[in-house]
Structure 1
Amino acid sequence: MIGSLSLDQLRVLVAIADTGSFSAAGRQLMRVQSAISQTIATLEAVQGVTLFDRSGHRPVLTETGRVLVAQARTVLSSAARFETVASGTRQGLEPELALAIDPLVPSGPLIESLRALHEIWPHLPISFSTEGLGGALRLLRSGDVALAICLLLPTVPDDVSATPLIHVDMIPVAAKNHPLASSTHPLGRADLEHHVQLVLSDAMDRGGPGYGLMGAAQWRFVDLARRMDFLLAGFGWCRMPRHLVAGHIEAGRLVRLDLDDDARGPDTPLTIHAAHLRDRVPGPAGRWLLKDFKQRLGG
């Protein structure tokens, strides 16, 4: 019961609208016609509206009735989702799957995994937070998310359980019209430090540790897509995931920079982990997602 309104009254109203008559609605709901008529009469009296024009052979929805039938469908759909989530929780399914996704994570396989998960648990609420460097770990520790697919730099913290999912090659690039793109020799630190480096940083800790930084001209971004815009516009150079820039390099919009040994640094790719707090293990949907996503990544 919602105040003076019940879900049963809404079911009867929708059944009449769908079947076209009180008697057909009674057959569908396995009730006598008089019970259907009484339910609608009570609903109209309590709400102070006329839902059906009964002057003809068949009841016809009034303008108010048509609007309220649409509202009734919405309420009944929400109630069904409510019951499904409650039922899943009783069976051990998490009531919500809250994820923090690093912007470096490849979107294609993740979308396909989530599409498959939705087919299994269509009513499971899923929330996303796309965080920059350090943000996913912060959300795990605050309890806002149960699972993160992210970088963990410089090492995996002691309070986090992490499984490596994929290695991401980071390659130095600049726009085709950037001065560095036309260099005829391997670029060293002395060459790079005179140009703006576009840096992905932690939104909450701008002065936090940096990785692969050189020179004083650093423009810091939280949003990877925004950094890409500035990169393509020729505002600076940076290291970007190979899978995000391969198409731009092939099309000639970006140029891979040739760095010398001093500027290149370690060639070890970055590792994307599936991570959760050691004392907060993901539920069935979270575990299923990780297994499926890892398989799609070839792991």
Structure 2
Amino acid sequence: MNTEKIRAFVNAVECGSFTAAARKQNKAQSWVSNAIADLEIDLNLTLFDRSAYKPILTSEGQTLLLHAKNLLSAETAFLNRAHHLSDGVEERIVVAVDDWLMNQDIRLALVEFQTTFPSVELVIRQLMTQDIIHLIEENEVDVALATGRWFLDKSVQFQTLDYIETCLICSKNNPMGQKKVAHSDLVGTKQISRTSAFNLENKYLDLPDIEHINVDDMESVITLVENDIGWAFIPKEIALNHLSRIKIVETLVSEKGHLLRVELITSELRANGIATQWLKNKLATLY
């Protein structure tokens, strides 16, 4: 079916007259009248009551109006998708961001991406870094923001954007807050860790030979530490905002409680077209 006829029908309704619809479509008024009449013949329905000064929608026309608008929207989406594909724009991009790194700037960048590439299906995964690395190894992620240095095969590109400072926190009345803490001081205690979707350990943050309590969100981490259920490694920036509830501990525990890389990771096995490159460049400017 000719969508120009359907467009004439929708424009006539939205503009209030066949004459105004003709101006909007840059057509003669007679063309719009004939297009709508042809559409009514095609459908074997009367869409407008023409007995009054201005055509009025019939009940059948009112019922079909929403479907007509949806059809025109689908046509626009189809043409945009075809245009993007011809220009090398991907159909779908999966972005994974470590939940420590997700912030308003990144969210706004993703909004801008979707505005710039409306035909691209954008999938956003907010996970722990070890889960993100697992998905990259399974070739399920296009672009990722992760923490730490992970060693993957040559099909993955790394770009260090920044560093995130972490620290060990305990309750305000825990004795470990009065000294520099070594690994041996933590034996027999409980580490509050983030929950992994794939039951994986974070080699940079999860200490061996320590009992772990896994939780999904930062507020639960802070609350458990505040009540002396255990201790945790968290971003220092977050810890500084909760000093009324917890204490930052000086530590001698290897790399733990120090700096972690913020890595922009891209899989070369995935479709790295115009949209992926735009997103990589945009995320890189945030650091």
TM-score between both structures, scaled by the size of structure 2: 0.81
The answer to whether 1:75 aligns with 2:71 is: yes
- Give runs of aligned pairs for residues 81-160 of structure 1, distance below 5 A: 81-151=77-147, 153-160=149-156
The answer to whether 1:288 aligns with 2:282 is: no
The answer to whether 1:213 aligns with 2:170 is: no
User: What is the rounded CA distance, in whole Å, between the counterparts of 1:50 and 1:191 in structure 2?
Assistant: 84
Give yes or no for contact 2:130–2:200 (8 Å, CA) kept in 1: no
Give yes or no for contact 1:149–1:272 (8 Å, CA) kept in 2: yes
Give the AA of the match of 2:55: P
**3-state secondary structure, aligned to 1:169:** strand
Q: Structure 1: which 5+ residue stretches go unaligned? A: none
Give the AA of the match of 1:167: Y
Correspondent of 2:3 among 4, 7, 10? 7
| 1:163/1:183 CA distance change after superposition, 3 Å | closer
Map Cα deviations across residues 129-180 of structure 1 (whole Å, 9 max, x no partner).
Answer: 223233323333444332222236543443321111121111112455xx53
**3-state secondary structure, aligned to 1:97:** strand
- Give runs of aligned pairs for residues 171-190 of structure 1, distance below 5 A: 171-174=167-170, 176=172, 179-180=173-174, 183-189=177-183
Which residue of structure 2 lines up, in the alignment, with residue 163 of structure 1? 159
Which residue of structure 2 lines up, in the alignment, with residue 57 of structure 1? 53
- What value does the CA root-mean-square deviation take over the aligned residues? 3.2
Give yes or no for contact 1:22–1:33 (8 Å, CA) kept in 2: yes
User: What is the rounded CA distance, in whole Å, between the counterparts of 2:277 and 2:3 in structure 1?
Assistant: 35
Q: Tell me by how many angstroms 1:123 deviates.
A: 4.2
The answer to whether 1:19 aligns with 2:15 is: yes
Q: Structure 2: which 5+ residue stretches go unaligned? A: none
Which residue of structure 2 lines up, in the alignment, with residue 272 of structure 1? 262
User: What is the rounded CA distance, in whole Å, between the counterparts of 2:64 and 2:207 in structure 1?
Assistant: 61
User: What is the rounded CA distance, in whole Å, between the counterparts of 1:32 and 1:48 in structure 2?
Assistant: 24
Map Cα deviations across residues 238-286 of structure 1 (whole Å, 9 max, x no partner).
Answer: 111233443233xx23322233x2x465555111211123444622222
Q: Percent identity?
A: 21
Map Cα deviations across residues 217-239 of structure 1 (whole Å, 9 max, x no partner).
Answer: 21134x4xx25324324343211
Which residue of structure 2 lines up, in the alignment, with residue 255 of structure 1? 247
Figure out how many residues of one structure are paired with residues of the other and give that number: 284
Which residue of structure 1 lines up, in the alignment, with residue 237 of structure 2? 243
Give the AA of the match of 2:248: R
Q: Tell me by how many angstroms 1:11 deviates.
A: 0.8
User: What is the rounded CA distance, in whole Å, between the counterparts of 1:87 and 1:239 in structure 2?
Assistant: 48
| 1:81/1:115 CA distance change after superposition, 3 Å | same
Give yes or no for contact 1:192–1:215 (8 Å, CA) kept in 2: no
User: What is the rounded CA distance, in whole Å, between the counterparts of 1:152 and 1:71 in structure 2?
Assistant: 51
